[in-house]
C-alpha cells in the first residue's frame, strides 16, 4: 500500500492534480485525498485551486458537478460504474413531465442529481441548506426532486406544501427506527445524529438532523462524548479520526453504499496514470446547470 500511495503522490504532482474524497469513501482513499467533505463543497474547493486535473473519489453526479464548476479542468472518476441510484431515479424527461403537470412551479433539485436534471432546475440545494432555499422561495409552487425525505424534512421545517418526487436513497432507507432505538439502549448517553435523507420516522428520533459536513461540525463542537450516526458508515472513520477522545457508533452497520466503495487506492492510481475516466458535461447543459447552482449560492 505504501508503494501505491507514493506513486499516487508522485503522479499527483506530475499531473498537477487534486484528489477529492467524499466522506463515504473507504479509509485509505480518505487518507490520500487533498480535500475530504460532501459533494458540492468538494467541487467548490477544487474550483478554487490551480489544479489542472480533479480526481473525484465519489459517484458520477459529483464528478459532473465538479465539471460544471471547473470546465477548464480535466475531471476524472476512478470507477465509471460508481453511480447514484437516487440520482438515477429522476431523469430530464421525468422532470419535464412534472413541469408540464405543474405549470409555473419552481423546481428545486437536490445536488444529488445529474447535470441534465440540474439544467432544467431553477435552484439547487444541498442537504445542509434545503430548508433555507425552500424558505426563500416565496409565493410559488415548488417541485422538489429527487429525494422525498429531504423534501419532506424541508416542508416540515418551512411549513410549505411541495410537490415531492418519489425518490429516495436506498442506503439511508436501510436505517430503521428500531436501529436507532437499539443503539440508544446500548449507548444511552450518546447523541443521535441523522442525515435528512433518512426516513421520517428515523428523523423524529434524532437529536440533530444534519448533512455530512454538519455531522463533522456537530461532533467536534458538541460536548457529548458519544454519538450514534445515522448515515452511510464511511463517515464514522473520519469522525473517529478527528475526534479520538469521543466514541462514534453507526446507527446501522448495513448502511453501506456499494457504489462509493467501488473506488480503491489502485483505481485512484490508475486514474492518474491513464487520465481515466474523464467526466464531461456538454457546454449547453453545463451553462444551464451552472445557473441553478449559482442561484443557490446567491440565496445562501
Q: In the structure grid, which three cell numbers stand for residue 134, read together?
A: 425552500
Residue 255 lies in a domain: no
185 and 245 in a common domain = yes
Q: What angle do CA 224, 225, 230 make, to 5 degrees?
A: 80
Is residue 183 domain-shared with residue 115, that is, in the same domain?
A: no
Residues 10, 78 within the same domain: yes
Q: At what angle do helices 234-242 and 212-221 cross, to 10 degrees?
A: 30
pTM reported for the whole predicted model:
0.96
Cβ-proximal residues to 24 (8 Å cutoff; 6+ apart), any chain: 58, 212, 232, 233, 234, 235, 257, 260
Q: Which domain CATH number covers 242?
A: 3.40.50.10800
Q: What pLDDT is stored for residue 138 in this prediction? A: 85
Please provide the size of the chain in residues.
300
- Judge if 290 and 158 occupy the same domain: yes
Residues 300 and 133 sit within 8 Å (Cβ to Cβ) = yes
Indicate whether 237 and 179 sit together in one domain. yes
Is 12 a domain residue?
A: yes
C-alpha grid cell, residue 129? 441548506
Domain that holds residue 243: 175-250
- CA–CA dist 282, 287 (Å, integer): 9
If one counts the domains in the chain, the total is 3
Residue 54 in any domain: the answer is yes
Quote the mean pLDDT of the chain: 97
Whether residue 268 has pLDDT greater than 80:
yes
Structure confidence at residue 235 as a pLDDT band (50, 70, 90): very high
Amino acid at each position: 500500500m505504501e508503494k501505491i500511495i507514493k506513486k499516487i503522490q508522485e503522479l499527483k504532482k506530475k499531473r498537477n492534480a487534486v484528489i477529492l474524497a467524499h466522506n463515504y469513501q473507504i479509509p485509505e482513499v480518505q487518507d490520500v485525498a487533498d480535500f475530504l467533505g460532501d459533494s458540492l463543497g468538494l467541487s467548490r474547493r477544487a474550483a478554487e485551486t490551480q489544479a489542472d486535473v480533479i480526481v473525484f473519489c465519489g459517484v458520477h453526479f459529483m464528478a459532473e458537478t465538479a465539471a460544471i464548476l471547473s470546465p477548464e479542468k480535466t475531471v476524472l472518476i476512478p470507477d465509471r460504474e460508481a453511480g447514484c441510484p437516487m440520482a438515477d431515479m429522476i431523469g430530464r424527461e421525468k422532470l419535464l413531465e412534472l413541469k408540464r403537470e405543474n405549470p409555473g412551479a419552481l423546481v428545486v433539485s437536490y445536488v444529488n442529481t445529474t447535470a441534465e436534471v440540474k439544467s432544467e432546475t431553477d435552484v439547487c440545494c444541498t442537504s445542509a441548506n434545503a430548508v433555507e432555499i425552500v424558505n426563500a422561495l416565496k409565493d410559488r409552487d415548488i417541485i422538489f426532486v429527487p429525494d422525498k425525505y429531504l423534501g419532506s424534512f424541508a416542508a416540515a421545517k418551512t411549513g410549505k406544501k411541495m410537490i415531492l418526487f418519489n425518490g429516495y436513497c436506498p442506503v439511508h432507507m436501510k436505517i430503521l427506527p428500531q436501529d436507532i432505538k437499539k443503539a440508544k439502549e446500548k449507548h444511552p448517553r450518546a447523541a443521535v445524529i441523522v442525515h435528512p435523507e433518512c426516513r421520517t420516522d428515523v428523523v423524529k428520533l434524532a437529536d440533530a438532523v444534519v448533512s455530512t459536513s454538519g455531522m463533522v461540525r456537530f461532533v467536534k463542537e458538541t460536548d457529548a462524548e458519544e454519538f450514534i450516526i445515522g448515515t452511510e458508515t464511511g463517515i464514522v472513520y473520519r469522525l473517529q479520526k478527528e475526534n479520538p477522545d469521543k466514541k462514534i457508533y453507526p446507527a446501522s452497520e448495513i448502511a453501506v453504499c456499494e457504489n462509493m466503495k467501488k473506488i480503491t487506492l489502485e483505481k485512484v492510481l490508475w486514474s492518474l496514470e491513464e487520465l481515466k475516466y474523464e467526466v464531461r458535461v456538454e457546454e449547453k447543459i453545463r451553462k444551464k446547470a451552472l445557473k441553478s447552482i449559482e442561484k443557490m449560492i446567491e440565496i445562501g
